[in-house]
Amino acid sequence: MSKAANIRKKALDLVRQQDWANAIKEYRRLVEIDQNNPNVHNELADLYLRTNQKNEAFDAFMRAIDEYTRVGLYNNAVAVCKKVLRILPNRSEVLSKLGLIRMKQGLAKEAESYYISFLERAAGGTFDPQTFQKLALAIAGEMAVSTLVMQRLAQCLLGYKLNDDAAEVLIKLYQLQERNGDTSGCEDTRALVTKLGVVAKLDAVAGKSPVDRTVVTEDNLWTKTHSEGERLAGMESTPRFTPPSPAQPTPPAPEAAPVSDGPSERDQWLLRLARGVGGSAKPKTAAAPAAQTTSTSAVGVEEPKPSAPAATAAPESVVIAGEAPADVVIGDDPMPDIPATPEPEAIEEVAPPQPSRTTAPSKDGMQISALIDDASAAGDEEDYRSHYDLGMAYIEMELLSEAIREYQMASKSPQFQVKCLEMIGLCFLKQNQPQLAIRQLSKGLSLIGGDGDESMGIKYNLGLAYEMTGDLDNARHHFEDVYVVDVTFRDVAEKIRKLSG
């Protein structure tokens, strides 16, 4: 027998004697030798709980969960996680473990619900920043495809003042929203990234060029060859550019205007309007060349057709954009001037469009609750399997009471009911309680009937139970039922010979 087996046997003997302190010492020795065995960590955690050492128990449970996950026993890991949530409900980091395990099992929707539940609890500042940062980075790596999780994760990181990590998550979120065609979400995320001061990094990752937002003013409208005096004189002497009256017919299109070294008449008129310069000028007899054709301004930018100006005073710097009506002309007949200051009733204020917000916190809360409820309902059958698998692990560890408890939970599922009744009966046999075993095994046999391969193990164990109670007739009867179907089943042939003799 190996050294680990000797220590384990000694530890189990101490457990049966309820010598918890010495049993814990032996299990600590066993952990040092067999530290990759998840069952050892799970057993040690149970012993810590018996002595009310909750922090030590939690650490041992987490190690057991990690080892179960590493070797691919995901259902066992889930069962231990849920056990921790029942015993230590305040240790919410277990929820992130559940999310990780469900992702490895391919259950993305259920994983999302566990991660959101974890982030809701973490938002209250229950962790120190370093601990939360470690957990958050793992979540960001696993759930980079979930918009909801990434949004909540960024909010939590900002709450913990982890702005650099929040920026990284927001950039990933922006890319995800862009792939999903979520324009409104992209705008909101970009606004947050801008506040964090890393919008240049976002543009670099997204492959976008910076937008040229140069505003055309009278300082950059005039060429460098114009002196300051020429600018002022030109601005004061430029006549207004007035739109035509509705009744005036549209003249034929004039010839293209020659390139000018200074601003066009339209540009000068816009700047006068922006500065609020009063007065009027006699309309010129020639048609304005910039009315219908494209002209080149002094800064060398090709301008589209000018639009009809708004009848409101604007700031000193003006952005020249838009198209002008095709019928704008300055003819020989005088046209009414546009007043420098419009009448109040002529001004119609239009509020700028606000970005749409599709989700509110209360609605998010309802969505999250619905996700968790749906995932819980869908995962019930998986939970029963987890309890069944954990019961099998406890039997291997000879922790029979714990195994019975897990089988009792799993027996609520019709799929596992008969199997669990058989295993509970076997545990009672190992505990030398044959009467309790007979009750469980008889119930399982009544559910499946007396025939079929599934009944062989139950009938055999019933024979053992009756043999332990001294009821040899019933024992021989159940052994014979097995023997007539399969003479090679376990040692049933030897049992028949023994009882017959």
- Whether the per-residue pLDDT at 356 is higher than 50: the answer is no
Q: Per-residue pLDDT averaged across 45-58, rounded? A: 92
Q: Where is pLDDT greater, at 359 or 199?
A: 199
* The dihedral formed by the CA atoms of 83, 393, 403 and 48, expressed in degrees to the nearest 10: -50
CATH no. for 363-500: 1.25.40.10
At residue 380 the predicted structure's pLDDT band, cuts being 50, 70 and 90, is low
- What pLDDT is stored for residue 142 in this prediction? 87
Structure tokens at 152: 């909540």
Task: Indicate the residue type of 222.
Answer: W
Q: Give me the residue label for tokens 């193990």.
A: 457
- What pLDDT is stored for residue 346 in this prediction? 40
- Whether the per-residue pLDDT at 248 is higher than 60: the answer is no
Cβ neighbors of 278 (< 8 A, separation 6 or more) are 340
- What pLDDT is stored for residue 208 in this prediction? 59
Residue range 3-206 in CATH 1.25.40.10: yes
Structure tokens at 493: 């042939």
% of the chain residues with pLDDT over 70: 65
3-class state of residue 293 by DSSP: coil
Separation between Cα atoms, residue 315 and residue 102, nearest integer Å: 59
Burial class of residue 150, CB neighbours in 10 A (0-12, 13-18, 19+): buried
Beta bridge partners of 296: 302
pTM of the model: 0.47
- What pLDDT is stored for residue 278 in this prediction? 47
- Residue closest to 218 by CA, chosen among 207, 205, 230: 230
- Whether the per-residue pLDDT at 312 is higher than 70: the answer is no
- Whether the per-residue pLDDT at 336 is higher than 50: the answer is no
At residue 437 the predicted structure's pLDDT band, cuts being 50, 70 and 90, is very high
Q: Where is pLDDT greater, at 169 or 311?
A: 169
- Whether the per-residue pLDDT at 340 is higher than 60: the answer is no
Separation between Cα atoms, residue 156 and residue 19, nearest integer Å: 45
Q: Is the dihedral of CA 222, 226, 228, 233 positive or negative?
A: negative
- Whether the per-residue pLDDT at 122 is higher than 60: the answer is yes
- What pLDDT is stored for residue 428 in this prediction? 93
Q: Per-residue pLDDT averaged across 255-265, rounded? A: 57
Structure tokens at 9: 């046997």
- Whether the per-residue pLDDT at 20 is higher than 50: the answer is yes
- Cα 488 to the chain's mean position, in Å? 55
- Whether the per-residue pLDDT at 373 is higher than 60: the answer is no
| Window from 206-215, 312-321, 464-473 with minimum mean pLDDT | 312-321
Q: Where is pLDDT greater, at 243 or 59?
A: 59
- Cα 298 to the chain's mean position, in Å? 53
User: Where do the H-state alpha helices sit in 356-483?
Assistant: 361-378, 380-396, 400-410, 417-430, 434-448, 455-469, 472-483
% of the chain residues with pLDDT over 90: 25
- What pLDDT is stored for residue 231 in this prediction? 53
- What pLDDT is stored for residue 97 in this prediction? 92
Cβ burial 161-173 (10 Å sphere, 16+ → b, else e): ebeebbbbbbbbb
**Every domain of the chain and the residues it spans:** 3-206, 212-347, 363-500
Intrachain domains 3-206 and 363-500 with the same fold: yes
For the segment 488-501, what is each residue's pLDDT rounded down to a tens digit? 888 888 888 888 86
Cβ burial 410-424 (10 Å sphere, 16+ → b, else e): bbebeebbbbbbbbb
- What pLDDT is stored for residue 150 in this prediction? 92
Q: Give me the residue label for tokens 């229950």.
A: 126
Other beta carbons within 10 angstroms of residue 460's beta carbon come to 23
- What pLDDT is stored for residue 492 in this prediction? 86
At residue 65 the predicted structure's pLDDT band, cuts being 50, 70 and 90, is very high
For the segment 134-154, what is each residue's pLDDT rounded down to a tens digit? 999 989 988 888 999 999 999
Separation between Cα atoms, residue 179 and residue 162, nearest integer Å: 26
Q: Where is pLDDT greater, at 181 or 216?
A: 181
Separation between Cα atoms, residue 43 and residue 39, nearest integer Å: 6
